[in-house]
Amino acid sequence: MATEGTGAQAAGDLGRGWKISPSIRIAPGETAVLGEIDGPGVITHIWCTTAPHRAWRGTVLRMYWDGAEAPAVEVPLGDFFCQGWNTFSQVSSQTVAVNPNGGFNTYWPMPFRTAARFTLENVSAEEVILYYQIDYELGDVADDAAYLHAQWRRSHPVPRGEVHTVLDGVEGAGHYVGTYLAWGVNDPGWWGEGEFKFYLDGDDEFPTICGTGTEDYFGGAWNFDVPGQGYTTFSTPYLGLHQILRPDGLYVSQQRFGMYRWHVLDPVRFGTDLRVTVQSLGIGPGHHNGLPHRYRPTSDDIASTALFYLDAPALAQRPPAPDLIAMEVD
């Protein structure tokens, strides 16, 4: 029905109903409301794309459930769709699909009981053009249906000898369903020895779940290194190393990686609380005692997006909202 919009000039000879307003402009510093929906219902699919691609780390996507003042989802737009480096990378998974050239899709079910609200804040210094569609169903929501949450954190870099916190401050019952990492390597050599650890329901020093290495957690093995071709990408329904940026060669620093794992068939369930960490750990030369190599802490740039379902529409404890300085990668 629009008579004005981003396509008005291009459709000037066609008239009303012919793509007059296919997108919106979001000025620097502006927050656009993408949707306000009365429930009960469930979001079934979101598609969007932006111009320019730099907006992927220059905008913050937020989702609010059932009138909560605090967002349940507060993540850079690109990271929510596994695109944390402002550079397109194909993702072919069950819940997130990213297609040429920057078509973002998510199929995470997002139930709500009274209301759903979506916003996108432009924290960059340039105008963003956003095309988007939110698909949803209205109808009864099961009593035990939980709310989707997503949190973003970045250690830039991880202090040497410390761990990167993927998720913390979660109180309540729910299940953890996904991790996306944008990992930048700052040390030479292999970088992915760090263990993923899930601290559940009162765990203190030791976690209930402890992994064997970063590449193992994302479903790979042996450094993602196929003899003769080096680091090798893959994108499957539930996990992948979908992005490799190689400015300096295989084992020289400043590599950049994008990895995802969706715990759809293997959710990590918790009853009272949850904390998740990953070690920044690599391999260095061996000791004088003849060992061929040794583990050594690294100081890499790790940005994580953690997705989980919770029995409450908002959390009391959340990390600081992403700002441009925290997000920028260009």
Task: Tell me what pLDDT residue 250 has.
Answer: 77
Task: Tell me what pLDDT residue 284 has.
Answer: 86
Q: Is the pLDDT of residue 202 over 80?
A: yes
Give dist(CA 289, CA 266) in Å, integer: 41
Q: Which two tokens stand for residue 325?
A: 């300085």
Arithmetic mean of pLDDT over the chain: 96
| CATH class (in words) of the domain with range 7-327 | mainly beta
Q: What is the mean pLDDT of residues 163-178?
A: 98
State the amino acid at position 108 in one-letter form: W
What pTM value is reported for the model? 0.96
DSSP string over 301-328: EEEEEEEEEESSSS-S--PPPP-HHHH-
Q: Is the pLDDT of residue 262 over 80?
A: yes
Q: Is the pLDDT of residue 282 over 70?
A: yes
In 172-272 the beta strands, taken as DSSP E runs, fall at 174-184, 196-200, 209-210, 225-226, 230-231, 234-235, 239-245, 256-262, 268-270
Residue 81 host element (H or E): none
Neighbours of 249 (CB within 10 A): 11
Half-sphere exposure of 311 (CA within 13 A, CB side): 11
40-60 pLDDT, tens digit per residue, is: 999 999 999 999 999 999 999
Q: Is the pLDDT of residue 289 over 70?
A: no
Task: Tell me what pLDDT residue 156 has.
Answer: 96
Q: What is the mean pLDDT of residues 267-275?
A: 98
17-31 pLDDT, tens digit per residue, is: 999 999 999 999 999
Q: Is the preceding peptide bond at 289 cis, omega within 30 degrees of 0? A: no
Give dist(CA 125, CA 142) in Å, integer: 43
The pLDDT-based confidence of 154 (bands split at 50, 70, 90) is very high
Q: What is the mean pLDDT of residues 255-280?
A: 98
Task: Tell me what pLDDT residue 248 has.
Answer: 72
Residue 308 · residue 200 · CB < 8 Å: no
